[in-house]
Amino acid sequence: MQGKEIETGTYGVVLTPFDREGHLNQTALRQELKYCTGTKAAGLLLCGSTGEFVYMDQQQHKEVLRIGMEEAGRYKVLIGGASGATEHKVLGLLNYMEVLGYTYCIICPPYYYPQTPENVVSFYETISGQAPAGMKIFLYNIPFCSPEIPLKYMERLLRLPNVIGMKDSSGDMLYLSKVMGIVNEIRPDFMVFTGQDAVFLPSLTIGASGCMSALCWMLDEAAADIWQSYKKLDLKHATEIQLRIIQLVRHLDAVAFPENYRILSEIVGISAGKPQRSLHNMSEEFCSQWISQAVELVWKLRMK
């Protein structure tokens, strides 16, 4: 196992670079990871939503996990994405990750087909019971892509000993506040991270452990600044940075996810290759204006 303990703070979600034929661009991935190891992010998440795991075949998925460990395992805590539509696929990835030396994984509920809350809980209980010894699991709540992790069964999920935390990408502060209420009563050591940069600071105020997002490595100093300022009780400064990030997020929303983050990575100086499925919905004029505005917003964040 990797040996590094996960801590509170910021975690960067790595993009997966592809070439024009849809093959994994290993050179670009290694360059991205080398850059990420020098950022203020406490760790890195591979094969997440921004990493387009749903577009990768099994071999590509495994290659990203392997290269991630080779390039960044000595420097950062790594969380490997192991989401799949069936328990069998997830457990296959977990067994492979164990061989590579991963300690932490993140898994969203089974997607595509509708699931009852009972189905979601059963899915996690099965995986928890059959996961490799020592593998620590993060739940992944991302309700616009898969069923919501049910609040009514949160206490039951918190009692799974190898489930140690959750990433909530819903952006729903009411949902998150209820999760934190249950966590505080049942298992205070359970770690909850937001996956939405626009609610990073509000999430901290109700007890969240930090943020997991692509911006946490692309704009690592700004993300770390919110975290450190909050810990120092400098809420005025933390709010100033948060509001600038909200401006950037609003701007990013004008371009489809995750292509918007690939363009942003180029702006910050890291080539993330091509998306597996490029969405050709931007005119040259729109793209040029959008990039110019994004550059200005990034500059404001970096100047802070």
| Start-to-end Cα distance in the chain | 39
> Which pair of tokens denotes residue 279?
């969405």
Query: Is 50 annotated to bind ligand?
Result: yes
- Candidate list 40, 76, 136, 167, residue with the active-site label: 167
Burial class (CB in 10 A: 0-12, 13-18, 19+), 280: exposed
232 catalytic? Reply is no
Cβ count near 261 (within 10 Å): 22
The β-bridge partners of 104 are 79, 136
228 vs 230: CA distance, rounded Å: 5
- Candidate list 140, 230, 261, 274, residue with the active-site label: 140
Report whether 220 contacts 10 (CB < 8 A).
Answer: yes
The H or E element containing residue 156 is helix 154-158
> Which pair of tokens denotes residue 212?
């997991």
Query: Is 27 annotated to bind ligand?
Result: no
175 catalytic? Reply is no
> Which pair of tokens denotes residue 106?
């993140």
Measured in whole angstroms, the distance separating CA 266 from the mean position of its chain's CA atoms is 19
- Binding site: what residues are annotated? 50, 212
- Binding site for pyruvate: what residues are annotated? 50, 212
Residues annotated as catalytic (active site), given as ranges:
140, 167
